Amino acid sequence: MTDMTTELIDQHTYLDSLGPIDYIVVEFPAGASSFTGEMSEALLSLVDAGTIRVVDVLILTKNEDGSVDAMELSDIEQLGPLQRVEAQLAELLAAEDVEHLAAAMDPGSTAGVLIWENLWAAPFASAARRSGGQLIATGRIPIQAIIASIEADEANATEGD
C-alpha cells in the first residue's frame, strides 16, 4: 500500500468517526452581560465528560455603525480554565463567516460564537453509516414550538368540550 493510499484510508477512518458539528451564537445585549465564569464551567464540564469537543470560539462585537470587531479566545488575557480549551481550537471559521454570523447581532451587542463537535453522537452516526443508513434530515425543535403545540392541543380540547 502506498503512503497516499494509507493516508486516504486514515482520513476516511477519521471522517467516519467524526461527530456532527454544531454552532451557536449567544448574544449579550449592551450592558446586559454578567460574566461570572458560570458559562465556562458548564462548557468545560461537557468537554471533560467527553460529550463535546470545542472546535472554534470567537467573540464578536457589533458597533453602532454596524461594523464588527472579532476577537480570538487567545486575545483574552485572563482566560482562566478556558485556557486548555483554547489550546486545542481549530480555526474552522473563515473571515467571511464573521460577517455572516454577525448579521444576526444587534448593534451595540457582544456575542460569543461557539463551534463544537458532538462526540456523543459520533459512535451512533458511525454505526448508522456502517449499517447502510444515510442522514437525510436533521434539525432542532425550539422550545417555543413545543409550547405552541401544547397550547394548540389545549385549545382544541377546550373547543371539543
Partner 1 sequence: MPLGPGRAGRVGVIGHPVAKTAVVAKAVTPGPAPVAKTAVVAAAVTPGRAGRRRRI
Binding site for partner 1 (CB under 8 A): 23, 25, 27, 58, 69-72, 74-75, 91-101, 103-106, 142-147, 149-150, 153
Of 45 and 149, CB closest to partner 1: 149
Cβ nearer to partner 1, comparing 10 with 106: 106
Q: Calculate ∠ Cα 21-129-52, nearest 5°.
A: 25
For the bound state, the minimum distance from the C-beta of residue 100 to partner 1, rounded and expressed in Å, comes to 4
| Closest-CA residue to 61 (of 12, 114, 110) | 110
Contacts with 123 (C-beta within 8 Å, 6 or more apart), sequence order:
17
Considering beta carbons, is residue 9 or 152 the nearer one to partner 1?
Answer: 152
* Least distance from partner 1 to the Cβ atom of residue 72, Å: 5
* Residues 16 and 126 sit within 8 Å (Cβ to Cβ): yes
Contact 20, 115 (CB under 8 A): no
- What is the spatial distance between Cα 106 and Cα 32, in angstroms, rounded to a whole number? 13
Q: Please state the closest distance from residue 133 (CB atom) to partner 1, in A.
A: 22
Which of 8, 92 has the CB closer to partner 1? 92
